[in-house]
Amino acid sequence: MDQLQSLNGLWTTYTTKLMPDGTLDERFAERGVREFQHHGQSTSPGGVLMLKNGHLVVFSSVLNNDVFIACFDSQGVLVPDFADQGVLTLAYDDKTYLQFSLVETPTGLVSIGSTNLRSDPNISHGMMVGITFNGQLDTTFNQAKPVIITFPAISPLQCHQIVCQPDAKLVIAGYRAASDPAPQGMIGRYLSDGTPDNSFGQKGLASTGTFVHTSSKQGMALSPKRRIVCAGRHDKHGVLAGFLG
């Protein structure tokens, strides 16, 4: 996934699909490359998720910090049954949303990122949104409303990571979005309906101290023994940290 500026000054998202040998999959879109602009607005690429049904979900942000999620079939064609002709827009009047990751669950998708009130852009929180496989807000996930993630010891907070456990619980990771005071990290676990898992940490959240996970979308995984493994940094060193799940 990449971003290029076109002659009209707009930034456009490009998604490239490769064969196992590293060559372009010419069956996908235009010889392996799918160009996409959202309603003529500049877009900033977020990431790509391949669903178990073979569909390709691309998520990105537009310049006003709203989010779009586009669903393509294996040929690079927008899936018409997903949201509005293949594209779901997450836009809110009172807050911005900057999406960082997306995970598939047994019942749909969950998006995670950071949000702040438009009236107070200096304070950010984590945010999750549940989405059905047909691109609608999931009414079984916090009654189709965003889940706002706050951790009093860490503010402003950004959440970059989310994984889905085999039991459908959601594990998230975030960190203080500022270098002063000292960096602080956190992990949390939520039930499949978006409520905190009170059996984990304190009301579903736990501090990781000065260990701060990487902002890479592949920076957290689950081990076969259900430990939560995070890549990140401590002081000036890159480290792997394991947490009991």
Residue numbers in the chain where pLDDT is lower than 50: 1-9
Same domain for 79 and 105, yes or no, is no
Residue 101 has a pLDDT of 86
Is 71 domain-assigned? yes
**pLDDT of res. 187:** 87
Number of domains in the chain: 2
Share of the chain above pLDDT 90, in %: 28
Same domain, yes or no: 86 and 98: no
The answer to whether residues 200 and 108 belong to one domain is yes
Question: What is the model's pTM?
Answer: 0.83
pLDDT at 110: 95
Q: Is residue 225 part of a domain?
A: no
Place of tokens 């310049």: 63
Helix runs in 32-138, H state only: none
Percent of all residues in the chain with a pLDDT value above 70, rounded to a whole number: 80
Q: Is the dihedral of CA 172, 176, 182, 183 positive or negative?
A: positive
Residues whose CB is less than 8 angstroms from the CB of residue 168 and which lie 6 or more positions away in sequence, other chains included:
105, 106, 107, 192
Q: What domain range includes position 17?
A: 1-91
Query: Quick one: pLDDT at residue 107?
Result: 93
201 with 188: CB under 8 angstroms? yes
pLDDT at residue 2 in the model = 40
pLDDT for 15 equals 79
